[in-house]
Amino acid sequence: MLNLREFEAAARAVLDPAHADYFAGGAGDELTLRANEEAFARLRLLPRVLRGGGKQDLAVTLLGSRAALPILISPTAFHKLAHPEGELATARAAAAAGAIMIASMAATTSVGDIAAAARTGAPDGAPLWFQLYIQPDLEFTEILVRRAEEAGCEALVVTVDSPARGAHERDRRNGFTDLPDGLCCENLRDPRTGRVLPIVMSPEITWWHVDWLRRTTSLPLVLKGVLHPEDAGIALRHGVDGLLLSNHGGRQLDGVPATVELLPEIVAAVEGRIPVILDGGVRRGTDVAKALALGAAAVGVGRPVLWGLAVDGERGVGQVLELLREELDHTLTLLGVGGLPGLTPGHVRPAPAAGAVPPGAER
């Protein structure tokens, strides 16, 4: 495979069509889903020349977690729909690549088992973060937090864009409402009863719950799904340690802007006090470079990891990460940048609007 697009096509060819649609789909008319990729395509890169440089160091430290590359695995549900080894294969590949994996609360493998697999991928330890939907049952939410802590997760990623589930018409059309027999969200097993609970996406969750979580754990808290710059400011006042700027890959409110369009405003709102990670539509090393140039500390990828997993399990995920790493390295060299800190907003320009005539070329 030469690029992530080829993985996307190959994944669709091997997946059950309803599962391929679950992975691919967005909410409503999928405007935001498409916008994420289109917005990257509308940005141009502007290289500098004759700057020297050498081998690129792509390592980053995010909230104390050391990673070999500024590309995280964003949390996605149900990896066992893509491959029988599911999240275990993803975790081994992430660890081998030195990438931070954010395990989904809706994983088909428990966070403890995912952490153990990550250790086999990198015996010195591989950074694992845990994604959480705050449940109205706070006692159960605390059980989830303790499980993540005991597994050795180094940060909690709290998804706040889901006061209700997005409307996924592809799933309704396909009648995809439940996991196949034998699969479940292992993290949702309730030790009080032994039952697996459903995930509740509740409109009653507020900033009070973020404060409660802040008091409940000493792990760094990253809010995922803040889109409004004023909410970024509020997050700072509530002691949040980082933001994952995300529109859930276009799967929640359709019609919201592409994440890379919002990035400059969100970066300005946090004034360098906390890192901003971006996900949504990252498909090329050039996309990673654009986001980093505009102030992101790192990016996340969701669907591409599922494509790699579907195509070839652990090896496929490893290849997806390696393609992005190689492309980013090559992009930095061609940009005349000697390392990640050398990327600046000056390396990015908006593409001219369709049909626009360059200044001075009017007749």
Ligand X SMILES: Cc1cc2nc3c(=O)[nH]c(=O)nc-3n(C[C@H](O)[C@H](O)[C@H](O)COP(=O)(O)O)c2cc1C
251 binds ligand LXCWX6NK (CB under 6 A): yes
187 binds ligand X (CB under 6 A): no
For ligand LXCWX6NK, which is the closer residue by CB, 109 or 319? 109
158 binds ligand LXCWX6NK (CB under 6 A): no
Considering only residues 5-24, where is the footprint of ligand X by CB under 6 A?
22-23
Cα 219 to Cα 215: distance, rounded to the nearest angstrom: 10
Q: Which residues of 57-93 are buried (b: 16+ CB within 10 A; e: fewer)?
A: ebebebbebebbbbbbbbbbbbbbbbbebbbbbbbbb
Q: Which stretch binds ligand X (CB under 6 A): 1-9, 210-218, 247-255, 260-268?
A: 247-255
86 binds ligand X (CB under 6 A): no
Which pair of structure tokens corresponds to residue 125?
Answer: 């330890």
Shortest Å distance, C-beta 16 to ligand X: 13
Whether 104 has a binding-site annotation, put simply, is yes
134 binds ligand LXCWX6NK (CB under 6 A): no
Whether 360 has a binding-site annotation, put simply, is no
248 binds ligand X (CB under 6 A): yes
Q: Which of 83, 209, 248, 347 is catalytic?
A: 248
Residue 65 sits at φ, ψ, to 5 deg, of -90, 125
For ligand X, which is the closer residue by CB, 101 or 337? 101
Instruction: Give Cα 279 to chain centroid, integer Å.
Output: 5
Q: What angle do CA 130, 132, 135 make, to 5 degrees?
A: 150
15 binds ligand LXCWX6NK (CB under 6 A): no
Residue 65: which of ligand LXCWX6NK, ligand X, none does it interact with, CB under 5 to 8 A by kind? none
Whether 61 has a binding-site annotation, put simply, is no
81 binds ligand LXCWX6NK (CB under 6 A): no
Shortest Å distance, C-beta 19 to ligand X: 9
Whether 76 has a binding-site annotation, put simply, is yes
Does residue 228 carry a catalytic annotation? no
Task: From 165, 187, 161, 190, select the one nearest 176 (Cα to Cα).
Answer: 165
Q: Cite the active site residues.
A: 248
**Interface positions with ligand LXCWX6NK (CB under 6 A):** 77, 106, 199, 248, 251
Binding-site residue positions: 22, 75-77, 104, 131, 133, 159, 224, 246, 248, 251, 279-283, 302-303
Which residues lie near ligand X (CB under 6 A)?
Answer: 22-23, 36, 74-77, 104, 106, 131, 159, 224, 246, 248-249, 251, 279-282, 301-303
